[in-house]
Amino acid sequence: MRSWPFVGRDEELGMIRSCLSQGEAVGVVVSGEAGIGKTRLVREAVALLGPEGFHTEWVAATGALASIPFGAVANLLPAGWRCASEREGLSVLTAAAARMHACGKGRRVVIGVDDANLLDPGSAALIGQLAAQRLAFVVATCRSGESCETITVLWKDGQAPWLDLPNLPETAVDQLVDHTLDGDVEGASRVRLRGLAAGNPLALRELMSTALTDRTLRLHHGVWQFTGGYRPTGAIRQLLANRLDPLAAGPRLVAELLACGEPLPHAVLAQLVDPAVIDEAETHGLAVCEREGHRVQVRLAHPLYGEVVRAGIPVGRARQLWWRLAQALLATPLRRRDDLLRAAVWQVDGGAVVRPDVVRHGTRQAIDRADLALAERLARAARDAEPSVHADALLAEVLEYRGRSAEAAAVLPEDPPSDDDGLLRWALARAETTYWGYGAAVTAERALDLLRGRPGEDLAEGIRSWILLYDGRCAAVLDVAESLLNGGRAGAQALIWAMAAATAAAGFLGLAKEATEYHARGQALARANTAELPWGVVELDIARCLAFLVMGEVQAAWTVADDGYHRVLSGQSPLMAVGHVGFRGLVECAAGRPVSAGRSLREAISGLDGRDTLRLTRTFTAGLATAAALTGDAAGARSRLDHAEQAATDVNRLFSPWTALANAWTLAAENRLTDASIAALYAADLARTIGLPTVEALACYDVLRLGGAADCVRLERLDAVLGTPFSRALVMAARGHKRGDAQALAAAADAFTQLGQHLLAAEAATSAAGVHRRAGLRSQVTTARERAAELRARCEGAVTPLLEREQISRVLTRREREVALLAARYSSRIIAEQLGVSVATVNNTLARVYAKLGISRRAHLAALVEAAPVTPAESDTR
């Protein structure tokens, strides 16, 4: 691994420098646990002070040197000086003092001392004497829990402040992770790496080195993903083993139980070991007891302790430990929500499922935490222990959530059961498997129809609202939502589902007020039922983000998605963040930040692997194609789009116009503007057929952006239906383009900017500059170009035809543009005949055009210069 930068210690470094500059202290003692970065901090401090005029020395104490009197400080003595005997300590002190005095003439001496607790008595006395006599400023490291008498005396006398080095902050850990890995890191994996390292740089370094070697940390869809299964090796394993090996049988049992199930309620752990032994483990720094509400929870002092201990437990003993934990927890009332999941996992890992009902409840909780691999394991164990239609439906549901529809269908019985509870579970699973697996919306709805007038009808309608939404029937979604709201008997889960679907559906219909109201009602319910329905807030926020996005309010959409992403990552279920980051990527793409969009979308695609419940991988992959196209990466865009099309099914008609637009932008990146505008027009027609006026409006405007004719009438009709700030801005911009109205384009740029649509704003401002230029209004040209440049700076180098045309007009002379326009259609011989010049002159002119535009052949010219106007007002000489 490459060397790491010095990060996260600016405050501590400043404290050392402050103590030195103020002159009152004789040194600083830096204390902390092994691997926390004490040595690196002191080395950095000493290294910085040398170039500033201080004389610096370094003393490194070791266990081996401790057996040699004054061995550690030999470099502080005059060259060639030899101690006649071990008893001549005073002469050694005198010699060292003389040398420091000589070195310090006109400047101060700074001595870094590493592992001061390992100094032999003579060396420790010498360091203490130099500091006490102010012949040197000493910055010494000392491991927590160990002491060096001389250093301790200086600290107690107030001459050397004590600096307890804290864990590295998360931002610094992230910097080190990013420095080590070339590429983006999945959010949930980043959280896992932070948690295991616990702010210890040595632990992080060894963790990443081992994980890279055994490929538990690997690139997946272009994103670094930590898959787990890590086992400490090397220095960190030895370091931790040194703490664990001397343990007596009692504390070691505590460590093993915690490794298998931490954190454990103290009351549960006390059923398995003597409470005095728990206290002993805490005294030895092995375990930590913390109060959480009315419970005291016990965990290992460092996350990596668990990895080391688990690696050393034989399989048979581990099963016994898990079974003992399961028995102890099952003997309690299981009041806390996590109790059910833990009791389920411990039964399965212990090899004896005595409470299948608990395992089924645990499966549901694993689903709620987005841990579908665990959910499948538990669902299979529950089904094996107690076969039933309920168990079949639960396993089928999990398999469907994991995107394995054929397996889900095979598990689920063909015919519906007769009892109400069995029918409820069967119908819900059948509907989800039928729609999300095969896109058969009508068949899915028929399964839900079986629950009309029966228990669970509200849940069926909640699921129906989602199927209708993703099938593109947004008006029908609102009907279902209103029916549930007015019925007065729907439960929280059904209402949260319906409110989330209605929030997004209202957005697609341009009903901003209704989208806000549905979201607010759903959020009130979701927050009141967070413990039972943890997905509620996430689903509603994603729906709100989607509503903002389709209504063109990309800044608001980004805020919802980004805030939700970071909030979920910091919670109990970081795997839930995949939806937030995926839609954040679509928002970034719309805003004109294709590089950021690519990072977000790759993370989402990686995170969805094996748990793409809503089949969003295709949508996000198409978004990634658009992002690549906007950066000018035609090959990358085509590759992504082909991959998206390979996954095409009848599922999610809601997003099919977006995929068509991704094709349009990919064609544009390939310099096929005519085909691109036709593809955008197809996307607009498709959106109209489905009934998505907001998407239709955007697609109509994209036709114009890609070189097609501006259909202002159609946009005006859509604006009359929608009446949103975005639809009004689109109409204003379309009119400005069609009429060559610089004022309208400038006003549209302002409106787009307020919405966060910086790419559309940059295009409008750029076009306004072009209109002014063609009119010969030089002062207005300068102002418009400055505005356009400011907006383009926010767009991460995005390339679109509207931006490039004005750029071309600025770099080519009139004759070069004339030749370029003709070369897009005709050979050099025909151009020479038309212009009355030689073929050689045409080719020379084309060579200059290619050089200025950064292209290499005529095929690129059509996309770049098509519609670049030539007017008599423009000068031939520039």
Q: pLDDT tens-digit profile of 85-133?
A: 545 667 788 888 888 888 877 788 999 999 988 888 888 888 888 888 8
Distances (CA, A) of 184 to 348, 628, 711: 35, 16, 41
Residue 408 φ then ψ, to 5°: -65, -45
Q: pLDDT tens-digit profile of 517-540?
A: 999 999 999 999 998 899 999 999
Q: How confident is the model at residue 705 (pLDDT cuts 50, 70, 90)?
A: very high
Tokens representing 609 are: 């692997």
Are 470 and 614 within 8 A, CB to CB?
yes
- Stronger pLDDT, 757 or 155, i.e. the higher one: 757
Cis check for the bond before 387: say yes or no (omega within 30 of 0). Answer: no
pTM: 0.84
User: What ranges in 509-616 are assigned the alpha helix state H?
Assistant: 512-528, 535-550, 554-569, 577-591, 594-608
Q: How confident is the model at residue 719 (pLDDT cuts 50, 70, 90)?
A: very high
Mean predicted confidence (pLDDT) in 17-38:
89
- Determine the number of helices (DSSP H) and then strands (DSSP E) in the chain: 44, 11
DSSP-based three-state secondary structure for 123: helix
- Stronger pLDDT, 865 or 319, i.e. the higher one: 319
Q: Which residues pair with 229 in a beta bridge?
A: none
Q: pLDDT tens-digit profile of 565-590?
A: 999 998 888 888 999 999 999 999 99
Would you list the DSSP string of 636-690? HHHHHHHHHHHT--SS-GGGHHHHHHHHHHHHHHTT-HHHHHHHHHHHHHHHHHH
Return the pLDDT at 235.
Answer: 67
Are 619 and 546 within 8 A, CB to CB?
no
Q: pLDDT tens-digit profile of 661-679?
A: 999 999 999 888 889 999 9
